[in-house]
Structure 1
Amino acid sequence: MISKLKQLQPIDRLAISLILLLNVLIGLLMLTGDRTRPRVRDFSWQNKVVGSVDTAFILTFSRPMDRDSVEANLQIEPPLPGKISWVGKRLVYTLTTPVRYETTYQIKLDRAISSIGNEKFGNSIQAFTGNFRTPDRAFVYIGVEGEEKGRLILYNLTLKQKIILTPKNLVVKNFKPYPRGERVLFSAAQWSNDRPGLFKQSLYTVNTGRLSGQQLTTESTGKIDLVLDSENYQNLKFELSSDGKSIVVQRINTNNLEDTGLWLLRSDTLPQRLTNRPAGDFLITPDGTSILNPQTEGIAILPLAENAKPLDFLPSFRRVLDITVNGRESAMIRLNRDATPSLFLVTNQGAKKELTSTPGQILNCKFNPALPFLYCLVTRPKAGKKEYSEQLNLEAFDLTTFKVKVLSIIPDLWETVMSVSPDGTALLFDRVVEKNEEPKIGDLRTNLGTAIATSSIMLLGLNQNQPSTVGKLQPQELPLRGFHPCWLP
């Protein structure tokens, strides 16, 4: 054997020596283990601005981890409830409540260990600290006075900063923010074409300046793009899907009023007709696959496809007021035999629970995205009055106990619009003052067509632990003149 080795060339002997050395090193490594300490290789939200559409972050580790030790030592400040799942060396943290806006979060992990090796040979993780923050509190509304009249306005509540988004020549009718708040879809007409009975409104988008994953800036703010013109059709009610990819519009042919129905718009495609019949106060489902369309006998669930047959039908209900983000619950109106409305909580499993009824009206309802509460604008009879009269209440329904409490009484106002903040901590509503005369050219008008004299915007903080009783929550009037306030996501 030795004689054979001597017969080898020097380079062959060198190669064999290296092989033997590598085998020895591999053996030592197997005996002692990997002495490098495990670490967090990637944090998906590191230094990002996270909004209400962001529901989970991922921690990727350099080595397989002891999962119990990671879960026991993971800290988030301020606390952010969530559920943990694992995919290999990745930890997925799914939020159970939305992030709180205008907040900086810090995530820490220390003392966790790897699932291989031992503490002597470096299986204790390198200490990790990550950070992310949430957007400023901001909302959009329609101005009512002076240079702001009829224009879409962005107000940053955190910075007390106001930005006018749309030009003077357009009067905005309605709007819907996109999921990340970087754009707003709105309907508007030229002031010269805006008069009672004339619907010459087109659909546009406008940039807010808040780019995806970034804070509000003035860059590209106010950039407007035409989405759908009004040359051959009147564009009436519209809805934007929760992913921002689909728009459904109710349209009427200007040359044939019987040609009416719902149309679907998607990016880079021509408008597609969904139905050829009049639509009610419809909503797109949170998953973006169908619409809830009120009809005479109930509510039809229609797929977002041309001339498709209904997927389901909900008899007796007349209107859908709101749907939870996960699509599991909805607030619906049903008319009783005496024509008074009742408010129902309806689940996607078919369960129905009556929450309240009133001889007045149930104008609007919004779910709290963070807590099991439903906020509604309801008209009730005034107590102690000989003659029948009504007052407008802002009421909170606890969806766990099904108890209701009055949060605020809004005096003599019937066309009030409200919006619940993405983190469920505050509520906006408007107080519209109507003119005591018929609307004329140049007037802003409510949804019912009455002329608007002025309007203020109110901010109501919501107790995250328990809705308050009447008198304890006092709405704050903001230094703004406008109506239809809506929080940016």
Structure 2
Amino acid sequence: MKHRPHPLDRAAISVMVILTFLIGFIIMGGDHTMPIVRDFNWQEKQVGIEDTAFILSFNRTMDWPKVEENLTLTPELSGKLSWSGRRLAYTLTEPIPYGTDFKVQLSQVKEARRSPTARPKVMQPFAGTFRSRDRAYVYIGVNGEESGRLILRNLTQDQKTILTPADLVVTEFKTYPYGDRILFAATAKSIASAGEFNPELYTVTTGLQANPPDLDSSPRKPAGEIEQVLDNQQYQILKFDLALDGSRIVIQRAPKDGAALGQVSLWQIPEGKSLQLLENVQGGDFLIAPDSRSLVIAQGQGLAILPLDSSVNDQPLEFLPKFGMVLSFARDGSAATMIKFNPDFTKSLFLVTNQGQQTELLKVTGSILKATFAPQKKLLYCLLTEVGSSEEYVEIPYFATIDLSTQKETRLLNLPNQRDSSMALAPDGSALLFDQAIEASSETIKASSGNDEPIQTNQGSPVTTSNLWILPLDSSKQQPYSVGSGISPQWLP
């Protein structure tokens, strides 16, 4: 008896025959799809100074020399092209200016010729957009309702926002890497008014949305949402630092118990974890290194570099006996600035590379308050002081640049009659932001007894008010202009 095919078998055979004919038709007729850009990793993203290259991914290997000729960025961004397979990378050679919208366009480009007889197809026109982060900075207010509170000034959006409540007096703060949060130390106003500063650690949202290329877009949080990070019930918080990538906080604390007074200890709070004691780690001033996994701390007659992810028996990664303080790091960790305290009471600023090279950049009789690497690491921006010529010992601050290839110092701006100042370099290198505090007189301090304690600068000087200034660095005039009142300004990254 002859077996008859099942209906499902007949249907399957029919589909296979049809697919075989379709595949054969495509093979004989060739690929009719157009070359396109499949992915642009900066599409509708917000980029910062740490983002140095974007990538266009195609569905075909393209005629790369023609792509280079026809790729346009509006406004222009200096960069260089490289390609591998079906991916093209555009690496920036200059810092990306903040507060700018950009458009990437590519058209009239053909795919690479696949064979001598094949006719290359023209790609589908592509247009992508991205933007750099807003030009914005944060400072501590000094006047009226702003006194002692964190203030956000967004220059791109022309907005000013008070971030912290009136019942907290902020003394110090650090910004998280995407500018959406700020870590700060603050004392209750009722305690600060009595002349006591016993801070606790908090975070506050800025209202800015973090939308970097390497992360999924997160929901925008409103400005002013505060969370407590660390209280002051058993320990007094003396100093803290935030890792460059925001992954951990290191805190220096002293116990409030009188019997244990003087036993200063270091602790860390890794992101998402609880407080951890850094055992057998003692020392003075410290900074978290750019790798966010090691600590540079003053110990004895030098600087020690200690691992933060380690067992208690791990030895220091390195010890630098010549230096007494680390001032700053290059963002990529390739170099640092350190201070050497000389026997003749002068101070020397050194450039120390990760290859072990140590170069003395300058020697001063005054102070070296700040040294910040420019984005391309060709210049160092410094806040220095010189000793005045009068009989009274007075240090007068000034701004200067140091060319790291020639060690040549160039003075930018004198700050006469100004003993206490701070300086911040914009992340794109376009401007310096600084304050000029007006110190409170003894009469003012007396008059404030029983009322609000005068705001203090980083060096502990009480002030009645303080002016904020911006010094443009990308213009020929380089004249500072006033942007209001406040102290301790910092640009958002």
Deviation sequence 1:227-249 (CA, Å, 0-9, x none): 01111111121111111110011
Residue pair 1:207, 1:221 contacting (<8 A) in 2 also: yes
Percent identity between the two aligned chains: 45
Task: Label 1:10 to 1:402 Cα distance change in 2 as closer, same or farther (>3 A).
Answer: same
**Residue 150 of structure 1: how far off its partner (Å):** 0.3
Q: Structure 1 residues 86 and 232, CA, compared in 2 at 3 Å: closer, same or farther?
A: farther
Alignment of 1:456-475 (within 5 A): 456-463=467-474, 472-475=477-480
The answer for the alignment partner of 1:394 in structure 2 is: 399
Aligned equivalents of 2:13 and 2:274: distance in 1? 71
Q: Partner residue of 1:93? A: 90
- In the TM superposition, residue 435 of structure 1 has moved relative to its aligned partner by 1.4
Q: Is the 8 A contact 2:43 2:130 kept in 1?
A: yes
- Asked if the contact 1:196/1:449 (under 8 Å) is kept, the reply is no
1:252 aligns with 2:249: no
Larger mean CA deviation between 80-89 and 281-290 belongs to: 80-89
Q: Gapped runs of 5+ residues in structure 1?
A: 1-6
Q: Which amino acid aligns with 1:132?
A: F
Note the 1:414-425 alignment, pairs <5 A: 414-425=419-430
Instruction: Give the superposition deviation at 1:142.
Output: 0.2
Indicate if the aligned counterparts of 1:260 and 1:277 stay in contact, CA closer than 8 A: no
Contact kept, 8 Å, 1:379 with 1:390, in 2: the verdict is: yes
Distance in 1 between residues matched to 2:474 and 2:97, nearest whole Å: 13
Which aligned pairs between 1:25-424 and structure 2 lie closer than 5 A?
26=23, 29-30=26-27, 32-86=29-83, 88-115=85-112, 117=114, 121-194=119-192, 198-213=196-211, 220-255=222-257, 256-276=260-280, 278-305=282-309, 307=312, 308-370=314-376, 372-382=378-388, 390-424=395-429
State the distance in 2 between where 1:263 and 1:376 align. 30
Cα contact 1:40–1:128 (8 A) shared by 2: yes
Report the Cα distance in structure 1 between the residues aligned to 2:163 and 2:110, rounded to whole angstroms. 52
Which stretch of structure 1 is more off in the superposition, 409-418 or 271-280? 271-280
User: Match for 1:450 among 442, 461, 485?
Assistant: 461
Change in CA separation of 1:21 and 1:445 when aligned onto 2, cut-off 3 Å:
closer
Please give the alpha-carbon distance, in whole angstroms, between the structure 1 residues aligned to 2:377 and 2:185. Answer: 32
C-alpha contact (below 8 Å) 1:413/1:432 kept by paired residues? yes
- Bigger shift: 228-237 or 154-163? 154-163
**SS in structure 2 of the partner of residue 192 of structure 1:** helix
Q: Is the 8 A contact 1:458 1:476 kept in 2?
A: yes
Cα 1:40–1:434 change in 2 (3 A) is same
Contact 2:106 2:126 in 1 (8 A): yes
Q: CA 1:63–1:340 in 2, change beyond 3 Å: closer, same or farther? A: same
| Cα shift at 1:89 | 2.8
Give the secondary-structure state (helix, strand or coil) at the position aligned to 1:35.
Answer: coil
Count the aligned residue pairs. Answer: 474
- C-alpha offsets along residues 260-309 of structure 1, whole Å, 9 cap, x if unaligned? 12111023322111145553221111111101112231110011136342
Distance 2:154 2:242 in 1: 23
> Normalized against structure 1, the TM-score is what?
0.88
Superimposed CA distance per residue, residues 31-86 of structure 1 (whole angstroms, 9 cap, x where no aligned partner): 55313220001212222222234333332212233444434433222232345455
Task: Report the AA paired with residue 330 of structure 1.
Answer: A
Question: Residue 115 of structure 1: SS of its match in structure 2?
Answer: coil
Instruction: State the alpha-carbon separation in 2 of the partners of residues 11 and 417 from structure 1.
Output: 81
Cα pair distance change 1:273/1:97, threshold 3 Å:
farther
Name the SS for the 2:284 alignment partner: coil
CA distance in 2, matches of 1:18, 1:444: 81
What secondary structure sits across from 2:145 in the alignment? helix
- Alignment-derived partner of residue 4 in structure 1: none
Contact 1:85 1:92 survives alignment (8 Å): yes
In the TM superposition, residue 28 of structure 1 has moved relative to its aligned partner by 5.5
Q: Which deviates more from structure 2 when the two are superposed, residues 413-422 or residues 88-97?
A: 88-97
